Structure 1
């Protein structure tokens, strides 16, 4: 049996589509067989929700009066990269706060903004004729920014390594605490829900494909950094408007290692 995308899209628009998760699909195939499952199910959803570095966001703060060309920028004492334009910056999720003894970083800033919390913007400059102002400190909400665009260079690993520790002492790593003498194994993955594990040939997932990202509408930009799809370690670069995201689907985390 074949089912066209036009038919599936028509059923989605009419509200008649049968949608299941990738977790549910194997049981349906066992019950109905492949042909029966294809006839019964229109959409199979996949997804990931876990710790991921290589994430961040571009911000355009808008111009002050008098204007400033922001050469260095901090959001809640977390420095963002400002070598872009006068009031543009990119904040990386793993950038740590300058404040001593503060367990806080870029991911916490992103979560605070999406949660509707006020964030302190601080910027400095040498000053120019076009942009005479040399410093600014102000409080901002997400809604105050012209743009807040999440752009994650590497998300959604197709699969990932497992880690064990053969030494005689506990190792504290970004994959968790590894006990001595192979006392445990740590691994990361979404199992049957993993998007790229369900599309290893990238037949559907690719540049321009709409996705659900951190509670809002997003899009696949293309292959992510360190992409190695031929070896089973494909990655995706993804983007989305932070103003449509929800805190339920974005959480900051701290890992020693």
Structure 2
């Protein structure tokens, strides 16, 4: 059995073998099962809608002595919760902002976090003693800016369908999930997800180092709703240094949600590590549930989602019919599709909504289908981005090898 200390020394000495999860899985599919001594670290990743995301921000809202204590706060209109420390008469406001908090139907906490990460100026309004105090700030102005999750990176998620007639308004759809069983919404990055490769939490205990939205962070422990069968993680990281392309807002039929990403290294310690890492999409169960009661009634696998399908959306300008209004731009939950200009790769979550809506087929993505109870139900919504998760695996591998990230 290798130790993490030994693997650290190999990395520092330039002799370590570090593979991304996609690289490792390709070897397994080809029948080349690596031995523990052949691989030292495998980098895994996941990116998608994670509702249990929040931020702790500390901002100087006014000069000391201006007001007693903040009673309410808004950031670009998004409501925040001042406290718990009152910071009496300091003009300083500590506040928690939920990733799912929102103002209107198109802007919420997830959008706010990405704006901060991008260095954009944010407008703060603080209510205290019957008056409103205003200030503009950027992430660099924050004494503290920390993102944390109450639950994230589930080992696997659930596919949702609507077995009733009509459309069900839900966070798992942009326009409402249509029935009966007319479409499916899925989440989860399957075989490359961190906990799919460490299901017994041998590695991901409190203090384990990870990347959160591209920035160095740590695991606090298991998150809420974590079970031995479907574990998930609670993590945190400083927001300074986060990549706005790996987080953001995602507009659904039930309001804006929050995109979060986590990349994590798994040291290969022994044969048990290799066995856990050898899991493939074909073996990863994806429960299928009715959206009305969220009780699974059938099973699929992540191979139906990610094998032989398109991991990104493509735009063909020559096929564009210049529709007014543009249905693809109108439905895009991240604002990535720009009429006549194509797709902004930073904002795009590869969800496929625009491809399903484009009447001229200028936007294309094969999202696959699931087959509950012998039916063929097309996937029309992906709330996890396998492409960006794969890119995060590469980013973490490079960071390990160059020494900017340590096990």
Q: TM-score range by the shorter chain?
A: 0.7 to 0.9
Give a deviation string over 1:37-63, Cα, whole Å, max 9, x none: x22211111110111111110011136
Contact kept? 1:80, 1:89, Cα under 8 Å: yes
Structure-2 residue corresponding to 1:78: 78
Structure-2 residue corresponding to 1:62: 60
Tell me which moved more, 148-157 or 26-35: 26-35
Tell me which moved more, 171-180 or 200-209: 171-180
Give a deviation string over 1:52-80, Cα, whole Å, max 9, x none: 11111001113632343211111011110
Which residue, out of 147, 152, 168, partners 1:150?
Answer: 147
Q: CA deviation at 1:34?
A: 4.3
Q: CA deviation at 1:185?
A: 2.4
Q: 1:53 is paired with a residue of what secondary structure? A: coil
Partner Cα distance (2:182, 2:239) in 1? 41
1:92 aligns with 2:101: no
Q: Which has the larger share of strand?
A: 2
Q: 1:196 is paired with a residue of what secondary structure? A: helix
Q: CA RMSD in A?
A: 1.8
Q: 1:121 is paired with a residue of what secondary structure? A: strand
1:115 aligns with 2:118: yes
1:45 aligns with 2:46: no
Q: Where do 1:160-179 residues align within 5 Å?
A: 160-176=157-173, 177-179=176-178
Contact kept? 1:215, 1:248, Cα under 8 Å: no
Q: Where do 1:101-250 residues align within 5 Å?
A: 101=104, 103-126=106-129, 134-176=131-173, 177-228=176-227, 230=228, 232-250=229-247
Q: 1:46 is paired with a residue of what secondary structure? A: strand
| Structure 2 alignment gaps of length 5 or more | 88-92, 255-407
Partner Cα distance (2:10, 2:250) in 1? 40
Q: 2:11 is paired with a residue of what secondary structure? A: helix
Contact kept? 2:105, 2:251, Cα under 8 Å: no
Q: CA deviation at 1:144?
A: 0.6
Q: CA deviation at 1:188?
A: 1.0
Q: How many corresponding residue pairs?
A: 243
